[in-house]
Amino acid sequence: MANPPTSPPRSKTVPKSLPATAWAVLGLLSFGRDLTGYDLKKWADASLRFFYWSPAISQIYGELRRLESIGYVESWAAPQDELRNKRLYRITPLGRDALTTWVRDSPVEPPVLKHGVALRIWLGHLADPAALREIVAAHREYAVEMLAAVSEARRTAATNPDWTYPEVVERWGERYWAAERDLADAMLRDLDELDLT
Amino acid sequence: MANPPTSPPRSKTVPKSLPATAWAVLGLLSFGRDLTGYDLKKWADASLRFFYWSPAISQIYGELRRLESIGYVESWAAPQDELRNKRLYRITPLGRDALTTWVRDSPVEPPVLKHGVALRIWLGHLADPAALREIVAAHREYAVEMLAAVSEARRTAATNPDWTYPEVVERWGERYWAAERDLADAMLRDLDELDLT
DNA sequence: GGGAGCATGTAACGGGTTACATGATTGG
DNA sequence: CCAATCATGTAACCCGTTACATGCTCCC
């Protein structure tokens, strides 16, 4: 952790509700590290994307500015070398309170699922069976890759006592992607059966 | 099916790529019925939403106009009563070809998953265990509801020989939501274990 | 009478992405 | 030397939603 921050207290009014992305970014900071926007993006790629999604880097910078403007984070320039400038962000007590309230009280949006593979199989009357099977098979590979990646993430989380909840979620993620793989297999069997009859 | 349609052939240039929503709407029409925007919305709510998502009605109207402007659908006013007007849409051969090509050749986007429950558990260090369990338990209920709804949809699909592929996908959907329920149960067990230690 | 369903649309807004611009450092 | 990584940001664009507007019919 770096030295005491010195960001100007430019308080705007807090908007009634922030998008989930803002809470996700704030959440990344709630594990207590001082991080740059760039760091945040890397971390989102390595963990968030398995069960939520990883915002574009430009959006992360935007969210950080918004969060600072309402006092949920503070930042300071950290001249690492002589010339280069990077900006470190830290969650404020106000931000931590707001995030805690959000976790506890905000209504949980139903999970968003947009499954391009299912959409294409749903239109199976427009393709030949072999092409459909190929789509599902490719998706199976994808699920296996995700499973491997989330397992890797879980191993990393297991090294740090602060990350017990991320680890629980990554365990969930492993099961999720394993299920996705099995679902692909089951659909392949269903497609085979269709062709036989 | 109604009488031969008579829509003006106002061809614009076809954009290089349409959003998946446009293909989904076109896909609904590819099952061969002439439908209104309103019908499309109801049908999307009853089937698409289980594995993709159901666009807002206003967006459906917008997509229909776009699809018509590029010649993928045609429409005509169908005065059902003396006064009321509704507009029926039908897929064109050009639209069917384009959709077929899309199903066969377009790269399949990785599935989008935004799981608000997982996001909150990931931030479990900010909440008390009972609140976390409640969130997961509520999600379990949700999964069970979705499972019931998709089963119902599958029973409907099973009545029509044109809907074999939708039925395959709905079978997939049943397994998906059953898995989601089981995943919630497993996470509850993990949370219990955390509290014991 | 009034609410629910049928039916179509417009306008404003915000969320999120890609593309672009800049520039320094590190390592093969 | 060049590519990759670090690091930050702007601008254009589009997707999609909510809110609003309109009006009819059916049924309690």
Task: Please name the member of B99, B108, B124 whose beta carbon is closest to the beta carbon of A168.
Answer: B124
A139 burial level (CB within 10 Å; 0-12, 13-18, 19+)? buried
Which chain A residues are within 8 Å of B27, Cβ to Cβ?
119, 122-123
Per-residue pLDDT at B59 exceeds 80: yes
User: What proportion of chain A, given as a percentage, has pLDDT over 90?
Assistant: 85
What is the arithmetic mean of pLDDT over B74-81?
Answer: 82
Give the DSSP per-residue string, B125-142: GGS-HHHHHHHHHHHHHH
Q: What is the pTM of this model?
A: 0.91
pLDDT score of B160 more than 70: yes
**A116 pLDDT above the threshold of 80:** yes
Cβ atoms of residues A195 and A129 within 8 Å? yes
The per-residue pLDDT for range B17-37, each reduced to its tens digit, is 899 999 999 999 999 999 999
pLDDT at A2 over 70: no
Closest alpha carbon to C1' of C10, residue: B58
For the cut 80, the answer to whether the pLDDT of residue B84 exceeds it is: no
What pLDDT was estimated at residue A197?
79
Q: Which long-range contacts (CB under 8 A, 24 or more apart) does A102-107 make?
A: A102/A23, A103/B120, A103/B123, A103/B126, A103/B127, A103/B131, A104/B126, A104/B127, A104/B131
Which long-range contacts link A154-160 to residues 24+ away (Cβ below 8 Å)?
A156/A46, A157/A47
Question: Which pLDDT score, from 0 to 100, does residue A9 have?
Answer: 42
Least confident window among A193-197, B120-124, B161-165: A193-197
- Among B71, B76, B64, B88, CA closest to B6: B76
Pick among B122, B142, B147, B189 to test the A interface (most A CBs inside 10 A)? B122
Angle at B112 between CA B25 and CA B169, to 5 degrees: 55
Q: Which long-range contacts (CB under 8 A, 24 or more apart) does A143-151 make?
A: A143/A177, A143/A178, A143/A180, A143/A181, A143/A184, A144/A177, A144/A181, A146/A50, A146/A177, A146/A180, A147/A174, A147/A177, A147/A178, A147/A181, A149/A50, A150/A50, A150/A174, A150/A177
Are B51 and A139 a contacting pair at CB < 8 A?
no
* DSSP states of A23-92: HHHHHHHTTS--B-HHHHHHHHHHTGGGTS----HHHHHHHHHHHHHTTSEEEEEE--SSS--EEEEEE-
pLDDT for position A13: 58
Residue B13 backbone phi and psi in degrees, to 5: -75, 145
Q: What pLDDT was estimated at residue A78?
A: 83
If you average pLDDT over residues B108-137, what whole number do you get?
Answer: 97
Nucleotides of D under 7 A from a protein CB: 6-11, 14-20, 23-25
Helix (H, G, I), strand (E, B) or coil at B77: strand
Residue range A143-171, pLDDT digits in tens: 999 999 999 999 999 999 999 999 999 99
pLDDT over 80 (residue B123):
yes
For the CA of B125 and the C1' of D26, the distance in angstroms is 54
Cα distance from N-terminal residue to C-terminal residue, chain B: 65
The residue type of A97 is D
- Mean of per-residue pLDDT scores for chain A: 91
Would you call B68 helix, strand, or coil by DSSP? Answer: helix
Residue A84 has pLDDT above 80, yes or no: no
Lowest-confidence region among A3-12, A90-99, B60-69, B148-157: A3-12
pLDDT on residue B83: 55
Q: Which residues of A touch B118 (CB under 8 A)?
A: 51-52, 169, 172-173
Nearest CA in chain B to A161: B125
Question: Which pair of structure tokens corresponds to residue A76?
Answer: 């300071």
In the prediction, which pLDDT does A83 show? Answer: 54
Antiparallel, parallel or unpaired: β B86-91 and A112-114: unpaired
Contacts of B110 in chain A (CB under 8 A): 116, 142
Which are the contacts of A152, defined by CB distance < 8 A and separation ≥ 6?
A: none
Name the residues contacting strand C (CB < 7 Å).
Answer: A 18-21, 53-56, 58-59, 62, 81-84; B 36-39, 42, 57-58, 61-62, 64, 80, 84-87
